[in-house]
Amino acid sequence: MQKRCFYCPELSLSPVSLSEEESSHILRVLRFQAGAVLLLTDGRGTLAEAELLPSSQGTKSRIAVCKILKKNFTARRTAGRVHLFVAPPKGKKFDLILKFATELGVSSITPIYCEYGVVDSSGKKDNFEQAVKTAGKQCYNPWFPKVTQTLKLGDALKAPSTPLDGCFGGTPSHLMAPVKKRECCCVPADYAVWIGPEGGFSPEEENLLLEKGYSPVTIGRYTLRVETAVPAILGYLEAKWKEMI
């Protein structure tokens, strides 16, 4: 059985104290006892093996304290860093998208406003970051994706940090669109993936993406929902680049 993983933003010192939320999960929900060995991650590449130390008893808010036993650092990719730009769908589907993106190792996630979008995701950045942390712990990904503020599609395209190489898809008009062949077989350092809302990108938005040099993609034979298009395209890229990175 794999060790359970928990979030600890600071792993440079030992022992470390975990947050009340993580402590409650460890001590009250899972009922771990002193001496239990678990994993800690800071979400910035470090995964540490730690031992749970005896904690104070009889208090309402017990804090889990751990001694670091061993630390491993996983370097970021030097190529194939994917930056996801996606219009959030309704309800809790975006949490599922954040989970998929984290499990598939994206570097950043930017919610975008689109003309046909129906969801206002402003002011929800903290909730999105929490969903990423939860997914990162569950899949043992020591690098949590950076979640940025929600941007209009036009503003996201103009941002200096937005990769120039990339693709867009997930709308009905892309089903018959040709996939532009890359002129070289090397993996780009940074790659942008644009996924539109349930209503698709508007014609004006598609033209903006094409003018920037992004390629329309076809995944499968049918129209994909946002929550299907994200893991489909990310999984395709991961498999395509696996042997090249």
Residue 45 belongs to domain with CATH number: 2.40.240.20
Same domain, 107 and 59: no
189-231 pLDDT, tens per residue?
999 999 999 888 999 999 999 999 999 987 877 888 899 999 9
Same domain, 206 and 124: yes
The residue among 73, 106, 130 that closes a domain is 73
Q: Which helix (H) or strand (E) holds 86?
A: strand 81-86
pLDDT at 183 over 60: no
Distance CA 53, CA 63 (A): 10
Instruction: Give the amino acid at 142.
Output: P
**Judgement on whether residues 166 and 198 belong to the same structural domain of the protein:** yes
Give the domain extent around 69.
5-73
User: Which of 23, 57, 73 corresponds to the end of one domain?
Assistant: 73
Q: What domain count does the chain have?
A: 2
HEC secondary structure over 95-154: HHHHHHHHHCCCCEEEEEECCCCCCCCCCCHHHHHHHHHHHHHHHCCCECCEECCCEEHH
Do 24 and 106 fall within a single domain?
no
pLDDT at 185 (0 to 100): 64
CA distance 136 to 235: 17
Last residue of a domain, one of 42, 73, 104: 73
The position carrying tokens 């460890």 is 26
Return mean pLDDT, the chain: 88
What are the tens digits of pLDDT across the range 104-135? 999 999 999 999 987 777 768 888 999 999 99
Same domain, 121 and 46: no
Residue 218: its pLDDT value, please? 79
Q: What percent of the chain has pLDDT over 70?
A: 90
